[in-house]
């Protein structure tokens, strides 16, 4: 097995109602600061509008070398990460990725709050169509993808995730949960995929 080229640029995309204050985002940020302080690392607060969020991702990564960049996406962030990887050709790590968020989040239209701050925001009806517009077909070059999928996910269907990323490298967990509370156990595999081990 060939050793992957180490990434030099890394983008983290959080899930619906989440933020850069999520446990996984903070753990990755701390690890990068300690082990790879020269790595270009971005973990933005994503706009509630999928179109605005994706435009910001494209702006953030403009000029990043596709062969040396990667994106990590959790839940809804995994859906965005797939769209970004297909657009740019970069590698993607998917943590319990949303597969059909336009379908699943249609029930969330209306006022809601962010998990970590309690800040109110509105998930508007047009955002469902914006999610649909970001959909991509079958993934190309599955070797660019590494998905961690938990059978214990209480929010999303692990079978749907596994089917979506068939052909890619998938770490299928027999239990765990949507948040991947045992993320520390799987981080070494992510590091290896990114060439940072």
Provide the angle, in degrees to the nearest 10, between the axes of the packed helices 125-133 and 50-61: 40
Average pLDDT over residues 124-147: 96
Please give the order of strands across the beta sheet that includes 40-42. 40-42, 9-13, 69-74, 91-95, 145-150, 169-173
118: pLDDT strictly greater than 70:
yes
Mean pLDDT rounded to a whole number for the chain: 95
Q: What pLDDT does 58 receive? A: 97
Q: What pLDDT does 15 receive? A: 93
Average pLDDT over residues 141-149: 97
Compare 24 and 1 and report the one with higher pLDDT: 24
Question: Residue 145 — pLDDT band, cuts 50, 70, 90?
Answer: very high
73: pLDDT strictly greater than 60:
yes
Q: Where are the domains of the chain?
A: 9-193
Q: What pLDDT does 1 receive? A: 52
Q: What pLDDT does 117 receive? A: 74
Question: Residue 50 — pLDDT band, cuts 50, 70, 90?
Answer: very high
Q: What pLDDT does 115 receive? A: 74
2: pLDDT strictly greater than 90:
no
116: pLDDT strictly greater than 80:
no
Q: What residues pair up with 71 in beta bridges, in sequence order? A: 11, 92
Alpha carbons 32 and 171: distance in angstroms, whole number: 22
Share of the chain above pLDDT 70, in %: 98
Question: What does CATH list as the number for 9-193?
Answer: 3.40.50.1820
């Amino acid at each position: 097995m060939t050793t992957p080229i180490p990434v030099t640029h890394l983008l983290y995309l959080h899930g619906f109602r989440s933020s850069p204050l999520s446990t996984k985002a903070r753990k990755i940020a701390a690890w990068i600061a300690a082990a790879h302080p020269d790595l270009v690392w971005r973990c933005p607060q994503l706009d509630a509008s999928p179109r605005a969020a994706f435009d910001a991702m494209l702006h953030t990564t403009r000029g990043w070398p596709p062969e040396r960049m990667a994106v990590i996406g959790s839940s809804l962030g995994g859906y965005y990460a797939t769209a970004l990887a297909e657009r740019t050709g970069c590698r993607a790590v998917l943590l319990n990725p949303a597969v059909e968020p336009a379908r699943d989040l249609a029930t969330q239209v209306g006022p809601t709050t962010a998990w970590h701050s309690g800040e109110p925001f509105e998930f508007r009806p047009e955002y469902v169509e914006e999610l649909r517009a970001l959909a991509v077909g079958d993934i190309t070059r599955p070797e660019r993808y590494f998905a961690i999928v938990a059978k214990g996910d209480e929010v999303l269907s692990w079978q749907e995730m596994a089917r979506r990323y068939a052909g890619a490298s998938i770490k299928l967990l027999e239990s765990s949960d949507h948040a991947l509370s045992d993320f520390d156990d799987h981080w070494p595999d992510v590091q290896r995929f990114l060439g940072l081990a």
